[in-house]
Amino acid sequence: MRKYLLPKEGTFYKANLHCHTTVTDGKLSPEEIKKEYMKKGYSVVAYTDHNVFLDYQHLTDEKFVALNGVESNTPADGGGPLSKDSKVCHFCAIAKDKTNLILPCYHREKYFHVGNAESYRSQVKFDESEPDYERYHCLACVNDMMQRFKSAGFFVTYNHPGWSLERYPDYIGYRHMDAIEIYNGSCIHSGYADYNSKEYDDFLMKGRRIFCVGADDNHNRFPIDSADCESFRAFTMLKAKSLTYEGIIEALENGNFYASQGPEIYELYYEDSKIYVKTSDCERITMSANGRRNQTVRNQGKGLTEGVFQVTPDDGYIRITVMDKYGKTASSNGYFVDEF
């Protein structure tokens, strides 16, 4: 029986799930972000400024969905200023319900220090019955923060472990994210090690059933049309029933998407112990299984747009990576064989 890993029905919508604006330390306003991203074929942007959670639904229309989000973080080790060797943890949280405007883990005096954040503090809503939430860079605090956001109805993505200087002993204990940024576009563009395929495999090999997303983390400190601009570097392609807030959230919750730096995955399904994938023109398609049993098909000079791979019960999980002639990749979510 055929099982579609990317739904057969629905439409693909291009999304940036990590974005900064003039609300904190970005250089473009929320309205300018919508305009520039729509020019590049995007239909969805999650507005995730640092510790400032606002309502962006005035930007949503029949051709564009603005997701209400926030990037939350722990302070540097020891609570001091960020230094060259300070470890931190950043994660994005996207509200699943567009009417949910209460920011978890709120502190009445701290954590509004980035860019213009202080100017927007009065617009942020929080549960006034809750005490101030103190943050620390430690396993217990990160897990508690992520769990509080998830319990409050947010989709949580773990961000740029490379830039954050987090290594395996730091991140492997994080328990409450829905996804990891396999591509952080601005970090990769700036030379950081934030093509996080190994980190994603680390979680999958531990049996952690999480998704992977691509996002820009754009601040737009350089002109939008310059080679230094960090926008349009990585994205998530969501297969949704409708271009509505509810339709996009449903696609996120169900893992109906893939992450990419450029290549496209048109079709992905499982049938009779095989994985079938159809893609844009590429140089190679790889199925990774349980971190080691990889299979690859390559362009033999005739063009490559599809692959078929054998799956065995011992594979644990599989995921697909597509590479184009420029070395850019697209990554499917990890799929566990016991669910086929």
Q: Report pLDDT digits (tens) over 255-292.
A: 999 999 999 999 999 999 999 999 999 999 999 998 68
Percent of the chain at pLDDT > 90 equals: 94
Sign of the torsion formed by the C-alpha atoms of 276, 280, 284 and 288: negative
Give the model's pLDDT for residue 83: 77
Please answer whether residues 21 and 49 qualify as being in contact, where contact means their C-beta atoms are separated by less than 8 angstroms: yes
- Report helix, strand or coil for 203: helix
Give the model's pLDDT for residue 78: 63
Give the model's pLDDT for residue 80: 64
Nearest to 231 by CA among 35, 63, 23: 35
pTM (predicted TM-score): 0.97
The β-bridge partners of 260 are: 235, 330
Least confident span in 170-179, 197-206, 291-300? 291-300
Give the model's pLDDT for residue 84: 77
What is the edge-to-edge ordering of all strands in the sheet holding 304-310?
3-4, 265-271, 274-282, 304-310
- Report helix, strand or coil for 273: coil
Alpha helices for the chain (secondary structure H): 30-39, 117-120, 139-151, 168-171, 185-189, 197-205, 245-254
For range 208-221, the mean pLDDT? 98
Sign of the torsion formed by the C-alpha atoms of 191, 49, 229 and 156: positive
State the first-to-last Cα distance of the chain, in angstroms, to the nearest integer: 10
* Res. 329: pLDDT tops 90: yes
* Res. 76: pLDDT tops 90: no
For range 227-248, the mean pLDDT? 98
Tell me the three-class secondary structure of 60-121, residue by residue: CECCEEEEEEEEEECCCHHHCCCCCCCCCCEEEEEECCCCCCECCCCCCCCCCCCCCHHHHH
- Report helix, strand or coil for 297: strand
Percent of the chain at pLDDT > 70 equals: 99
Please answer whether residues 338 and 310 qualify as being in contact, where contact means their C-beta atoms are separated by less than 8 angstroms: no
Mean pLDDT score across all residues of the chain: 96
Give the model's pLDDT for residue 258: 99
Instruction: Give the amino acid at 312.
Output: T
Residue 11, Cβ neighbours under 10 Å: how many? 13
- CA–CA dist 101, 108 (Å, integer): 16
Give the model's pLDDT for residue 79: 64
In terms of pLDDT, which residue wins out, 321 or 81?
A: 321
Please answer whether residues 108 and 185 qualify as being in contact, where contact means their C-beta atoms are separated by less than 8 angstroms: no
* Res. 49: pLDDT tops 80: yes
- Report helix, strand or coil for 170: helix
The contacts of residue 107 (CB under 8 Å, 6+ apart) are: 132, 133, 134, 135
Please answer whether residues 147 and 176 qualify as being in contact, where contact means their C-beta atoms are separated by less than 8 angstroms: yes
